[in-house]
């Protein structure tokens, strides 16, 4: 089995930057591609800030931080991915955008055995795989936010994924990225979101109906069920637009009412109240440094 040393990450938002950071700390040569030079620079700043935060908290040594930064390269063109052995797509949870990325990666990545993975939360992996000429090398790798902290990754083989790709991906996740792995069927939502999303949407419906306020709902789940974070604070962390996109994808596949995004969620997304990343969602974050 070929040793993977060259990783590509497409997208450097919250998820992409976290994946890139973990991989660089794990000793990999990491190339991050964004849609523009400005986005690439913003991604670099995000990774540097996260590494510096780890240094301040005593989680990293200065030598480890500097070594990780030396392994990171940023580009604004997917053509730069040509020599990668493994590429993880981490762009917005939008089927058309992800499909376009996979079509381009299929064209530019020269190694016919290179693995192309998607960090999608809900889009069926087979839908992406069949848009490439190498469906046997396409697989899902769903990370959790914040990637440097959360230990889990879901591995999702499609019907088209080869046993070798699955084996190599599991080994890559556990040995290089030091993640715990669960394997899921290629059904929208996989394992975690299939359970989590109905719970989060139920909390939104409680607010919408006036059954309880956001703080009381969150305190109830944190203190009554020992959850580290209540559902509405978690939605703000995930991003309400991302949650809506995941719910829509799951509803499209299963047509179950519990997956349908509530009207309140749709209105908040339309208003730009997306959670932490916009400064406000169910809570206000404008005073948070």
Distance between CA atoms of residues 145 and 55, nearest Å:
19
Q: What is the largest CA-CA distance in the chain?
A: 57
List the strands of the sheet with 29-33, edge to edge.
72-75, 29-33, 6-10, 86-89, 115-118, 138-143, 152-157, 180-183
Interior angle at CA 152, CA 256 and CA 277, nearest 5: 70
193 is a catalytic site residue: yes
- Could you tell me if 273 and 240 are in contact, meaning their C-beta atoms sit under 8 angstroms apart? yes
2 is a catalytic site residue: no
Q: Which candidate in 17, 119, 122, 142 is catalytic?
A: 142
36 is a catalytic site residue: no
Dihedral sign, Cα of residue 161, residue 162, residue 167, residue 172:
negative
Tokens of 162: 């080869």
The residue among 196, 203, 151 whose CA lies nearest residue 178 is 151
Distances (CA, A) of 75 to 22, 23, 114, 178, 235: 18, 17, 19, 26, 31
The residue among 76, 81, 122 whose CA lies nearest residue 104 is 81
Dihedral sign, Cα of residue 31, residue 78, residue 145, residue 38:
positive
Q: Which candidate in 122, 154, 176, 278 is catalytic?
A: 154
**Element (DSSP H or E) covering residue 268:** helix 263-270
Q: Which candidate in 119, 193, 249, 278 is catalytic?
A: 193
Q: Which candidate in 17, 50, 119, 121 is catalytic?
A: 121
94 is a catalytic site residue: no
Distance between CA atoms of residues 259 and 203, nearest Å:
12
- Catalytic residue numbers read 121, 142, 154, 193
């Amino acid at each position: 089995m070929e040793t993977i040393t060259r990783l590509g990450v497409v997208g450097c938002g919250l998820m992409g930057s976290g994946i890139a950071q973990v991989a660089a700390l794990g000793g990999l040569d990491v190339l991050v591609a964004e849609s523009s030079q400005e986005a690439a620079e913003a991604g670099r700043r995000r990774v540097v800030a996260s590494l510096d935060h780890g240094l301040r908290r005593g989680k990293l040594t200065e030598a480890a931080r500097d070594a990780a930064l030396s392994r990171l390269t940023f580009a604004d063109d997917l053509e730069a991915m040509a020599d990668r052995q493994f590429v993880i797509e981490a762009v917005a949870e939008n089927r058309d955008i992800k499909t376009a990325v996979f079509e381009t990666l299929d064209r530019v990545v020269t190694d016919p055995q290179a693995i192309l993975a998607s960090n999608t939360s809900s889009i069926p992996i087979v839908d992406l795989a069949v848009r490439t000429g190498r469906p046997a090398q396409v697989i899902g790798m769903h990370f959790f936010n914040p990637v440097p902290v959360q230990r889990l990754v879901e591995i999702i083989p499609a019907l088209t994924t080869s046993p070798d790709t699955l084996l190599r991906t599991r080994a890559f996740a556990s040995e290089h990225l030091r993640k715990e792995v669960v394997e899921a069927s290629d059904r929208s939502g996989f394992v975690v979101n299939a359970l989590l999303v109905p719970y989060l949407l139920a909390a939104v419906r409680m607010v919408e109906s006036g059954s309880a306020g956001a703080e009381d709902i969150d305190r109830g789940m944190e203190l009554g069920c020992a959850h580290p974070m209540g559902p509405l604070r978690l939605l703000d962390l995930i991003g309400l637009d991302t949650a809506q996109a995941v719910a829509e994808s799951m509803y499209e596949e299963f047509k179950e009412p519990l997956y349908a995004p509530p009207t309140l969620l749709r209105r908040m997304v339309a208003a730009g109240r997306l959670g932490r990343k916009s400064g406000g969602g169910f809570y206000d974050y404008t005073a948070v440094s």
